[in-house]
Amino acid sequence: MSKKKKIRVDFIKNRGKAPRVNDFTRDFKTASEKIDDLSGTQQVRAKGDISRKRTIITNDDSGGQDGEVRPAADLINAIPGRVIQITGLTVLVQVGNGAIYRCTVRRLLKTLATDERSAVTTGDKVWIIPEHIPLTLELVPKLDPVPDSAVLPVGVVQTVEPRKGILTRKSKHKDHVIVANVDQVMFVISLSQPELKVHLVDRYIAGALEGKLEPILCFNKVDLISEDQYQYLVGLYSQLGYKVLFTSTRTGVGIDDVRHVLSNKQSVVCGQSGVGKSSLLNAVQPNLGLRVNVVSEVNQKGKHTTTSAKLIPLECKGWVVDTPGIRSFELSNQMPSEVENFFREFRPMLPYCEFADCTHTHETGCAIKRQVFRRVISPDRYLSYLGMIKKEDPHESRHER
Ligand code: GDP
Ligand code: ZN
Protein backbone atom coordinates (compact mmCIF):
# COMPACT_ATOMS: atom_id res chain seq x y z
CA MET A 1 0.00 0.00 0.00
CA SER A 2 1.49 3.32 -0.93
CA LYS A 3 1.45 6.20 1.48
CA LYS A 4 -0.50 9.32 0.70
CA LYS A 5 1.17 12.67 0.81
CA LYS A 6 -0.08 16.21 0.51
CA ILE A 7 1.71 18.64 -1.73
CA ARG A 8 1.03 22.37 -1.83
CA VAL A 9 1.36 23.70 -5.31
CA ASP A 10 0.72 26.98 -7.04
CA PHE A 11 -2.77 27.40 -8.24
CA ILE A 12 -2.73 28.19 -11.91
CA LYS A 13 -5.86 30.07 -12.69
CA ASN A 14 -7.32 29.72 -16.14
CA ARG A 15 -6.79 32.93 -17.95
CA GLY A 16 -10.24 34.25 -18.67
CA LYS A 17 -13.42 32.40 -18.02
CA ALA A 18 -14.46 30.18 -20.86
CA PRO A 19 -18.01 30.59 -22.01
CA ARG A 20 -20.09 27.48 -21.76
CA VAL A 21 -20.85 25.96 -25.11
CA ASN A 22 -23.19 23.00 -25.39
CA ASP A 23 -20.45 20.93 -26.93
CA PHE A 24 -18.24 21.50 -23.98
CA THR A 25 -20.83 20.58 -21.45
CA ARG A 26 -20.86 17.21 -23.14
CA ASP A 27 -17.08 17.08 -23.20
CA PHE A 28 -17.01 17.94 -19.55
CA LYS A 29 -19.15 14.94 -18.71
CA THR A 30 -16.80 12.63 -20.50
CA ALA A 31 -13.92 14.45 -18.91
CA SER A 32 -15.21 13.92 -15.42
CA GLU A 33 -15.83 10.26 -16.13
CA LYS A 34 -12.31 10.08 -17.46
CA ILE A 35 -10.74 11.67 -14.45
CA ASP A 36 -12.03 8.81 -12.33
CA ASP A 37 -10.03 6.40 -14.45
CA LEU A 38 -7.00 8.60 -14.57
CA SER A 39 -6.64 9.75 -11.04
CA GLY A 40 -6.56 6.38 -9.32
CA THR A 41 -5.52 7.11 -5.79
CA GLN A 42 -4.88 10.76 -6.47
CA GLN A 43 -7.30 13.51 -5.71
CA VAL A 44 -7.29 17.18 -6.35
CA ARG A 45 -8.70 19.50 -3.75
CA ALA A 46 -8.77 22.99 -5.10
CA LYS A 47 -9.53 25.46 -2.36
CA GLY A 48 -11.69 27.60 -4.56
CA ASP A 49 -10.97 30.09 -7.24
CA ILE A 50 -9.35 32.68 -5.06
CA SER A 51 -6.79 30.47 -3.33
CA ARG A 52 -3.21 30.93 -4.50
CA LYS A 53 -2.15 27.46 -3.43
CA ARG A 54 -3.90 24.17 -3.57
CA THR A 55 -3.37 20.83 -1.99
CA ILE A 56 -2.84 17.75 -4.01
CA ILE A 57 -3.19 14.39 -2.38
CA THR A 58 -1.04 11.98 -4.21
CA ASN A 59 0.95 8.82 -3.74
CA ASP A 60 4.10 9.29 -1.75
CA ASP A 61 6.16 8.16 -4.72
CA SER A 62 4.89 10.97 -6.92
CA GLY A 63 7.33 11.71 -9.68
CA GLY A 64 9.27 8.61 -8.72
CA GLN A 65 10.81 5.80 -10.71
CA ASP A 66 7.74 4.20 -12.17
CA GLY A 67 7.11 7.22 -14.34
CA GLU A 68 3.40 6.55 -14.31
CA VAL A 69 2.36 9.09 -11.72
CA ARG A 70 0.18 11.78 -13.13
CA PRO A 71 -1.50 14.48 -11.16
CA ALA A 72 -5.21 14.65 -11.44
CA ALA A 73 -6.38 17.77 -13.14
CA ASP A 74 -9.29 20.12 -13.13
CA LEU A 75 -10.98 18.97 -16.27
CA ILE A 76 -13.78 21.49 -16.32
CA ASN A 77 -13.86 22.73 -19.90
CA ALA A 78 -11.10 20.32 -20.92
CA ILE A 79 -11.28 18.60 -24.28
CA PRO A 80 -9.47 15.46 -25.39
CA GLY A 81 -6.82 15.58 -28.09
CA ARG A 82 -3.67 14.03 -29.44
CA VAL A 83 -0.16 15.45 -29.29
CA ILE A 84 0.95 15.53 -32.91
CA GLN A 85 4.22 17.36 -32.51
CA ILE A 86 6.41 19.07 -29.96
CA THR A 87 8.66 21.93 -30.89
CA GLY A 88 10.61 23.36 -28.03
CA LEU A 89 8.10 24.27 -25.37
CA THR A 90 5.15 24.22 -27.72
CA VAL A 91 2.93 21.19 -27.84
CA LEU A 92 0.68 20.91 -30.86
CA VAL A 93 -2.53 19.12 -29.96
CA GLN A 94 -5.13 18.06 -32.47
CA VAL A 95 -8.64 17.68 -31.13
CA GLY A 96 -11.57 15.65 -32.42
CA ASN A 97 -12.78 18.09 -35.07
CA GLY A 98 -9.32 18.38 -36.61
CA ALA A 99 -8.45 21.74 -35.08
CA ILE A 100 -4.89 22.14 -33.86
CA TYR A 101 -4.09 23.96 -30.63
CA ARG A 102 -0.74 25.42 -29.73
CA CYS A 103 -0.37 24.42 -26.09
CA THR A 104 1.83 24.90 -23.12
CA VAL A 105 2.05 22.27 -20.41
CA ARG A 106 0.49 22.76 -17.00
CA ARG A 107 3.23 23.56 -14.54
CA LEU A 108 2.34 20.70 -12.22
CA LEU A 109 2.74 18.15 -15.01
CA LYS A 110 6.18 19.50 -15.74
CA THR A 111 7.11 19.36 -12.06
CA LEU A 112 6.39 15.65 -11.99
CA ALA A 113 8.40 14.86 -15.10
CA THR A 114 11.51 12.82 -14.48
CA ASP A 115 14.67 12.35 -16.49
CA GLU A 116 13.32 9.17 -18.02
CA ARG A 117 9.82 10.39 -18.43
CA SER A 118 8.96 13.58 -20.20
CA ALA A 119 5.77 15.27 -19.11
CA VAL A 120 4.29 15.19 -22.57
CA THR A 121 5.46 13.32 -25.64
CA THR A 122 4.33 12.98 -29.23
CA GLY A 123 1.42 10.59 -29.54
CA ASP A 124 0.15 11.24 -26.02
CA LYS A 125 -3.57 11.34 -25.50
CA VAL A 126 -4.12 14.50 -23.50
CA TRP A 127 -6.83 16.76 -22.16
CA ILE A 128 -6.40 20.43 -22.86
CA ILE A 129 -8.12 23.55 -21.71
CA PRO A 130 -8.46 26.03 -24.55
CA GLU A 131 -7.49 29.51 -23.48
CA HIS A 132 -10.52 30.88 -25.17
CA ILE A 133 -13.15 28.90 -26.91
CA PRO A 134 -13.96 29.90 -30.46
CA LEU A 135 -17.63 30.71 -31.02
CA THR A 136 -18.06 27.58 -33.05
CA LEU A 137 -15.39 24.97 -33.22
CA GLU A 138 -15.81 24.68 -36.97
CA LEU A 139 -14.33 28.15 -37.39
CA VAL A 140 -10.95 26.97 -36.15
CA PRO A 141 -8.71 26.77 -39.21
CA LYS A 142 -7.44 23.35 -40.17
CA LEU A 143 -3.80 23.82 -40.98
CA ASP A 144 -1.72 21.08 -42.42
CA PRO A 145 1.18 21.44 -42.47
CA VAL A 146 1.34 23.75 -39.51
CA PRO A 147 3.49 26.73 -40.39
CA ASP A 148 5.63 27.98 -37.53
CA SER A 149 4.00 31.36 -37.67
CA ALA A 150 0.47 30.03 -37.89
CA VAL A 151 -2.08 31.69 -35.69
CA LEU A 152 -3.53 28.76 -33.84
CA PRO A 153 -5.88 28.67 -30.91
CA VAL A 154 -3.99 28.38 -27.68
CA GLY A 155 -4.45 25.98 -24.79
CA VAL A 156 -2.89 24.32 -21.77
CA VAL A 157 -2.27 20.59 -21.48
CA GLN A 158 -3.91 19.49 -18.26
CA THR A 159 -3.36 15.78 -18.06
CA VAL A 160 -1.87 12.89 -19.98
CA GLU A 161 -3.54 9.49 -20.29
CA PRO A 162 -1.51 6.35 -19.52
CA ARG A 163 0.73 5.39 -22.42
CA LYS A 164 0.68 2.19 -24.44
CA GLY A 165 3.09 1.04 -27.13
CA ILE A 166 5.98 3.31 -26.29
CA LEU A 167 8.81 3.77 -28.71
CA THR A 168 12.04 4.67 -26.97
CA ARG A 169 15.49 5.75 -27.94
CA LYS A 170 18.45 4.84 -25.80
CA SER A 171 20.86 7.58 -25.03
CA LYS A 172 23.43 7.52 -22.24
CA HIS A 173 21.89 4.31 -20.87
CA LYS A 174 18.54 5.98 -20.46
CA ASP A 175 15.40 5.36 -22.41
CA HIS A 176 13.76 8.41 -23.87
CA VAL A 177 10.21 8.10 -25.04
CA ILE A 178 10.09 9.33 -28.63
CA VAL A 179 6.48 8.56 -29.26
CA ALA A 180 3.62 7.05 -27.28
CA ASN A 181 0.60 4.97 -28.18
CA VAL A 182 2.01 3.27 -31.26
CA ASP A 183 0.35 0.07 -32.54
CA GLN A 184 2.73 -1.26 -35.13
CA VAL A 185 5.98 -0.75 -37.01
CA MET A 186 6.10 -1.06 -40.76
CA PHE A 187 9.60 -1.94 -41.88
CA VAL A 188 10.34 -1.07 -45.45
CA ILE A 189 12.92 -3.37 -46.98
CA SER A 190 14.26 -2.97 -50.47
CA LEU A 191 14.50 -6.12 -52.59
CA SER A 192 17.19 -4.47 -54.68
CA GLN A 193 19.06 -1.15 -54.79
CA PRO A 194 20.00 -1.27 -51.93
CA GLU A 195 20.45 -5.02 -51.83
CA LEU A 196 18.15 -7.12 -49.66
CA LYS A 197 19.64 -7.95 -46.26
CA VAL A 198 17.72 -10.81 -44.71
CA HIS A 199 19.53 -10.61 -41.37
CA LEU A 200 18.35 -7.03 -41.04
CA VAL A 201 14.75 -8.19 -41.40
CA ASP A 202 15.18 -10.49 -38.41
CA ARG A 203 16.76 -7.70 -36.39
CA TYR A 204 13.80 -5.51 -37.26
CA ILE A 205 11.31 -8.14 -36.14
CA ALA A 206 13.18 -8.62 -32.88
CA GLY A 207 13.34 -4.86 -32.29
CA ALA A 208 9.60 -4.54 -32.77
CA LEU A 209 8.83 -7.47 -30.50
CA GLU A 210 11.12 -6.05 -27.85
CA GLY A 211 9.12 -2.83 -27.99
CA LYS A 212 5.89 -4.86 -27.86
CA LEU A 213 4.87 -3.58 -31.27
CA GLU A 214 3.54 -5.59 -34.17
CA PRO A 215 6.07 -5.84 -37.01
CA ILE A 216 4.89 -5.48 -40.59
CA LEU A 217 7.32 -6.33 -43.36
CA CYS A 218 7.03 -4.33 -46.53
CA PHE A 219 9.33 -5.55 -49.29
CA ASN A 220 9.55 -2.74 -51.80
CA LYS A 221 10.83 -2.41 -55.38
CA VAL A 222 9.34 -5.69 -56.65
CA ASP A 223 9.65 -4.20 -60.13
CA LEU A 224 13.41 -4.63 -59.97
CA ILE A 225 13.61 -8.41 -59.52
CA SER A 226 11.67 -11.41 -60.76
CA GLU A 227 9.05 -13.03 -58.58
CA ASP A 228 10.89 -16.34 -58.14
CA GLN A 229 13.76 -14.42 -56.53
CA TYR A 230 11.65 -13.22 -53.62
CA GLN A 231 8.98 -15.90 -53.42
CA TYR A 232 10.81 -17.66 -50.57
CA LEU A 233 10.40 -14.58 -48.39
CA VAL A 234 6.63 -14.90 -48.66
CA GLY A 235 6.84 -18.47 -47.44
CA LEU A 236 9.33 -17.78 -44.68
CA TYR A 237 7.74 -14.76 -43.04
CA SER A 238 4.08 -15.52 -43.70
CA GLN A 239 4.55 -18.94 -42.14
CA LEU A 240 5.93 -17.26 -39.06
CA GLY A 241 2.68 -15.32 -38.90
CA TYR A 242 3.98 -11.85 -39.76
CA LYS A 243 2.19 -9.50 -42.10
CA VAL A 244 4.17 -9.40 -45.33
CA LEU A 245 3.59 -6.92 -48.14
CA PHE A 246 5.22 -6.71 -51.55
CA THR A 247 5.15 -3.30 -53.17
CA SER A 248 6.37 -1.15 -55.97
CA THR A 249 5.88 2.56 -56.10
CA ARG A 250 6.78 2.35 -59.79
CA THR A 251 4.01 -0.05 -60.83
CA GLY A 252 1.62 0.59 -57.95
CA VAL A 253 1.66 -3.06 -56.88
CA GLY A 254 0.66 -3.52 -53.25
CA ILE A 255 -0.04 0.15 -52.47
CA ASP A 256 -3.65 -0.68 -51.58
CA ASP A 257 -2.35 -3.31 -49.15
CA VAL A 258 -0.14 -0.72 -47.47
CA ARG A 259 -3.07 1.67 -47.18
CA HIS A 260 -5.16 -1.12 -45.69
CA VAL A 261 -2.50 -2.05 -43.14
CA LEU A 262 -2.02 1.58 -42.06
CA SER A 263 -5.69 2.47 -41.78
CA ASN A 264 -7.08 2.96 -38.29
CA LYS A 265 -3.69 2.27 -36.77
CA GLN A 266 -0.85 4.35 -35.49
CA SER A 267 2.23 3.17 -37.28
CA VAL A 268 5.90 3.91 -37.32
CA VAL A 269 7.55 3.54 -40.72
CA CYS A 270 11.17 2.46 -40.55
CA GLY A 271 13.87 1.31 -42.89
CA GLN A 272 17.26 2.18 -44.26
CA SER A 273 17.65 5.27 -46.33
CA GLY A 274 16.82 4.76 -50.00
CA VAL A 275 14.48 1.80 -49.57
CA GLY A 276 11.49 3.90 -50.62
CA LYS A 277 9.73 5.00 -47.41
CA SER A 278 8.87 8.46 -48.65
CA SER A 279 7.85 7.16 -52.05
CA LEU A 280 5.55 4.62 -50.41
CA LEU A 281 3.89 7.13 -48.12
CA ASN A 282 3.48 9.47 -51.05
CA ALA A 283 1.86 6.69 -53.04
CA VAL A 284 -0.48 5.91 -50.14
CA GLN A 285 -1.37 9.56 -49.88
CA PRO A 286 -0.12 11.88 -52.61
CA ASN A 287 1.88 14.90 -51.42
CA LEU A 288 2.37 13.46 -47.96
CA GLY A 289 6.16 13.26 -48.25
CA LEU A 290 6.25 16.84 -49.39
CA ARG A 291 4.41 17.89 -46.29
CA VAL A 292 6.69 15.86 -44.09
CA ASN A 293 9.66 17.72 -45.50
CA VAL A 294 8.08 21.12 -45.02
CA VAL A 295 7.49 20.46 -41.36
CA SER A 296 10.91 19.04 -40.61
CA GLU A 297 12.49 22.10 -42.19
CA VAL A 298 10.57 24.25 -39.77
CA ASN A 299 11.75 22.01 -36.94
CA GLN A 300 15.38 22.34 -37.76
CA LYS A 301 15.10 26.08 -37.57
CA GLY A 302 13.62 25.99 -34.10
CA LYS A 303 16.52 26.30 -31.69
CA HIS A 304 14.94 24.53 -28.76
CA THR A 305 13.66 21.53 -30.65
CA THR A 306 14.03 18.60 -28.35
CA THR A 307 11.67 16.12 -29.94
CA SER A 308 11.26 15.91 -33.65
CA ALA A 309 8.73 13.10 -33.82
CA LYS A 310 5.58 14.06 -35.61
CA LEU A 311 2.27 12.34 -36.18
CA ILE A 312 0.92 12.61 -39.69
CA PRO A 313 -2.78 11.98 -40.13
CA LEU A 314 -3.71 9.80 -43.09
CA GLU A 315 -6.87 10.04 -45.14
CA CYS A 316 -7.38 6.32 -44.49
CA LYS A 317 -7.89 7.27 -40.82
CA GLY A 318 -4.53 6.08 -39.52
CA TRP A 319 -1.53 8.02 -38.33
CA VAL A 320 2.07 7.55 -39.27
CA VAL A 321 4.90 8.69 -37.09
CA ASP A 322 7.66 10.57 -38.79
CA THR A 323 10.84 10.61 -36.78
CA PRO A 324 14.33 10.44 -38.25
CA GLY A 325 15.75 9.14 -34.98
CA ILE A 326 14.22 5.71 -35.26
CA ARG A 327 14.92 4.97 -38.89
CA SER A 328 17.53 2.46 -37.75
CA PHE A 329 15.13 0.68 -35.39
CA GLU A 330 16.72 -2.73 -34.89
CA LEU A 331 17.72 -4.93 -32.02
CA SER A 332 21.28 -4.61 -30.85
CA ASN A 333 23.19 -7.72 -29.80
CA GLN A 334 21.85 -9.24 -26.61
CA MET A 335 22.12 -12.30 -24.43
CA PRO A 336 21.00 -15.58 -26.09
CA SER A 337 18.30 -16.11 -23.46
CA GLU A 338 16.68 -12.85 -24.58
CA VAL A 339 17.26 -13.16 -28.32
CA GLU A 340 15.75 -16.65 -28.53
CA ASN A 341 12.40 -15.20 -27.44
CA PHE A 342 12.28 -13.02 -30.51
CA PHE A 343 12.48 -16.06 -32.76
CA ARG A 344 8.95 -17.29 -32.61
CA GLU A 345 9.69 -20.66 -34.25
CA PHE A 346 12.37 -21.48 -31.66
CA ARG A 347 9.98 -21.31 -28.74
CA PRO A 348 8.23 -24.71 -29.03
CA MET A 349 11.65 -26.40 -29.31
CA LEU A 350 13.38 -24.70 -26.39
CA PRO A 351 12.27 -27.22 -23.73
CA TYR A 352 13.91 -29.99 -25.76
CA CYS A 353 17.43 -28.59 -25.60
CA GLU A 354 19.52 -30.78 -23.29
CA PHE A 355 20.75 -27.85 -21.24
CA ALA A 356 18.33 -25.32 -19.82
CA ASP A 357 20.83 -22.52 -20.50
CA CYS A 358 21.54 -23.71 -24.04
CA THR A 359 22.68 -20.87 -26.28
CA HIS A 360 22.09 -23.02 -29.39
CA THR A 361 25.66 -22.52 -30.54
CA HIS A 362 28.25 -25.09 -29.38
CA GLU A 363 26.14 -27.23 -27.04
CA THR A 364 25.37 -30.92 -27.49
CA GLY A 365 21.75 -32.03 -27.59
CA CYS A 366 20.49 -28.72 -28.95
CA ALA A 367 16.94 -29.02 -30.29
CA ILE A 368 17.22 -25.79 -32.26
CA LYS A 369 20.26 -26.96 -34.22
CA ARG A 370 18.55 -30.29 -34.87
CA GLN A 371 15.58 -28.46 -36.42
CA VAL A 372 17.91 -26.31 -38.50
CA PHE A 373 19.57 -29.43 -39.92
CA ARG A 374 16.13 -30.79 -40.69
CA ARG A 375 15.20 -27.44 -42.31
CA VAL A 376 12.21 -27.14 -39.98
CA ILE A 377 13.85 -23.93 -38.78
CA SER A 378 15.19 -21.79 -41.62
CA PRO A 379 19.01 -21.77 -41.73
CA ASP A 380 18.80 -18.07 -42.64
CA ARG A 381 16.87 -17.33 -39.48
CA TYR A 382 19.32 -19.38 -37.42
CA LEU A 383 22.23 -17.42 -38.92
CA SER A 384 20.43 -14.20 -38.00
CA TYR A 385 20.08 -15.48 -34.46
CA LEU A 386 23.81 -16.22 -34.30
CA GLY A 387 24.55 -12.73 -35.57
CA MET A 388 22.39 -11.15 -32.89
CA ILE A 389 23.70 -12.82 -29.76
CA LYS A 390 26.54 -11.50 -27.69
CA LYS A 391 29.45 -13.85 -28.07
CA GLU A 392 30.16 -15.44 -24.74
CA ASP A 393 33.62 -15.98 -23.36
CA PRO A 394 34.76 -19.41 -24.68
CA HIS A 395 36.54 -20.14 -21.38
CA GLU A 396 33.27 -19.96 -19.56
CA SER A 397 31.26 -22.30 -21.74
CA ARG A 398 30.48 -25.55 -20.04
CA HIS A 399 28.58 -27.70 -22.44
CA GLU A 400 31.20 -28.10 -25.11
CA ARG A 401 30.92 -30.98 -27.46
P1 GDP B 1 13.59 6.66 -48.44
O2 GDP B 1 14.95 7.18 -48.21
O3 GDP B 1 13.40 5.34 -47.79
O4 GDP B 1 12.51 7.62 -48.08
O5 GDP B 1 13.49 6.34 -50.01
P6 GDP B 1 12.87 7.25 -51.17
O7 GDP B 1 11.39 7.17 -51.14
O8 GDP B 1 13.51 8.57 -51.15
O9 GDP B 1 13.35 6.42 -52.45
C10 GDP B 1 14.73 6.18 -52.74
C11 GDP B 1 14.88 5.88 -54.21
O12 GDP B 1 14.24 4.65 -54.55
C13 GDP B 1 14.25 6.93 -55.11
O14 GDP B 1 15.11 7.15 -56.20
C15 GDP B 1 12.95 6.31 -55.55
O16 GDP B 1 12.54 6.78 -56.80
C17 GDP B 1 13.33 4.85 -55.61
N18 GDP B 1 12.17 3.97 -55.41
C19 GDP B 1 11.24 4.05 -54.43
N20 GDP B 1 10.33 3.07 -54.55
C21 GDP B 1 10.70 2.34 -55.65
C22 GDP B 1 10.15 1.19 -56.32
O23 GDP B 1 9.14 0.62 -55.91
N24 GDP B 1 10.83 0.73 -57.39
C25 GDP B 1 11.96 1.32 -57.86
N26 GDP B 1 12.55 0.80 -58.94
N27 GDP B 1 12.50 2.40 -57.28
C28 GDP B 1 11.87 2.91 -56.19
ZN1 ZN C 1 19.71 -25.32 -27.92
Per-residue model confidence as pLDDT tens digits over 208-243: 888 788 999 999 999 999 999 999 998 899 999 999
Decide: 307 in ligand 1 pocket, CB within 6 A.
no
Closest ligand relative to 191 C-alpha: 1
Query: Residues 207, 281: one domain?
Result: yes
- CA of 368 from ligand 2 middle (Å) equals 5
Q: Tell me which residue has its CA closest to atom 9 in ligand 1.
A: 276
**Per residue, what are the HEC states of the chain?**
CCCEEEEEEECCCCCCCCCCCHHHHHHHHHHHHHHHHHHCCCEEECCCCCCCEEEEEEECCCCCCCCCCCCCCCCCCCEEEEEEEEECCEEEEEECCCCEEEEEECHHHHHCCCCCCCCCCECCEEEEEECCCCCCHHHCCCCCCCCCCCCCCEEEEEEECCCCCCEEEEECCEEEEEECCCCEEEEEEECCCCCCCHHHHHHHHHHHHHCCCEEEEEEECHHHCCHHHHHHHHHHHHHCCCEEEECCCCCCCCHHHHHHHHCCCEEEEECCCCCCHHHHHHHHCCCHHHHHHHHHHHHHHCCCCCCCCEEEECCCCCEEEECHHHCCCCCCCECHHHHHHHCCCCHHHHHHCCCCCCCCCCECCCHHHHHHHCCCCCHHHHHHHHHHECCCCHHHCCCEC
Average pLDDT over residues 265-293: 78
pLDDT band at 196 (very low <50, low <70, confident <90, very high): confident
Q: Tell me which residue has its CA closest to atom 17 in ligand 1.
A: 276
Query: Residues 256, 349: one domain?
Result: no
Query: Residues 232, 188: one domain?
Result: yes
Could you give the angle at the alpha carbon of 177 between the alpha carbons of 268 and 70, nearest 5°? 125
Per-residue model confidence as pLDDT tens digits over 108-167: 777 666 555 678 888 999 999 988 655 444 444 455 555 555 577 889 998 899 888 877
Q: Tell me which residue has its CA closest to atom 6 in ligand 1.
A: 276
Instruction: Report the atom number in ligand 1 closest to the C-alpha of 275.
Output: 3
Q: Give the end of a domain, one of 322, 353, 370.
A: 322
Q: Is the pLDDT of residue 198 over 70?
A: yes
Q: Give the end of a domain, one of 300, 322, 344.
A: 322
Decide: 192 in ligand 1 pocket, CB within 6 A.
no
State the pTM of this model: 0.70
Decide: 54 in ligand 1 pocket, CB within 6 A.
no
Q: Is the pLDDT of residue 67 over 50?
A: no
pLDDT the model gives residue 343: 96
Decide: 271 in ligand 1 pocket, CB within 6 A.
yes
Decide: 224 in ligand 1 pocket, CB within 6 A.
yes
Q: Which domain holds residue 102?
A: 79-160
Decide: 260 in ligand 1 pocket, CB within 6 A.
no
- CA of 363 from ligand 2 middle (Å) equals 7
Query: Residues 128, 187: one domain?
Result: no
* Greater pLDDT, 7 or 200: 200
Most confident of 104-108, 255-259, 277-281: 255-259
Instruction: Report the atom number in ligand 1 closest to the C-alpha of 272.
Output: 3
pLDDT the model gives residue 6: 54
Decide: 378 in ligand 1 pocket, CB within 6 A.
no
Query: Residues 381, 295: one domain?
Result: no
pLDDT band at 171 (very low <50, low <70, confident <90, very high): low
Phi, psi of 107 (to 5 degrees): -55, -40
Instruction: Name the nearest CA neighbour of 350 among 363, 110, 173, 225.
Output: 363
* Ligand 1 mutation target, pool 189, 191, 230, 249, most atoms within 8 A of CB: 249
Residue 18 within a domain: no
Residue 170 within a domain: no
Query: Residues 275, 202: one domain?
Result: yes
CATH number at residue 111: 2.40.50.140
CATH number at residue 267: 3.40.50.300
Query: Residues 182, 300: one domain?
Result: yes
Residue 151 within a domain: yes
* Greater pLDDT, 20 or 273: 273
Q: Give the end of a domain, one of 273, 297, 322.
A: 322
Instruction: Report the atom number in ligand 1 closest to the C-alpha of 251.
Output: 23
CATH number at residue 365: 1.10.40.50
Per-residue model confidence as pLDDT tens digits over 18-44: 444 444 444 443 333 333 333 333 333
- CA of 279 from ligand 1 middle (Å) equals 6
Decide: 379 in ligand 1 pocket, CB within 6 A.
no
Query: Residues 120, 95: one domain?
Result: yes
Residue 220 within a domain: yes
Mean pLDDT of the chain: 73
pLDDT the model gives residue 108: 73
Residue 144 within a domain: yes
Query: Residues 141, 182: one domain?
Result: no
Query: Residues 344, 234: one domain?
Result: no
Query: Residues 314, 187: one domain?
Result: yes
Q: Tell me which residue has its CA closest to atom 25 in ligand 1.
A: 221
Residue 156 within a domain: yes
Decide: 278 in ligand 1 pocket, CB within 6 A.
yes
Residue 71 within a domain: no
Query: Residues 101, 220: one domain?
Result: no
Residue 285 within a domain: yes
pLDDT the model gives residue 52: 45
pLDDT band at 107 (very low <50, low <70, confident <90, very high): confident
Average pLDDT over residues 249-274: 92
Count structural domains, the chain. Answer: 3
Per-residue model confidence as pLDDT tens digits over 295-354: 333 333 333 333 457 888 888 888 888 765 554 556 777 889 999 999 999 999 999 999
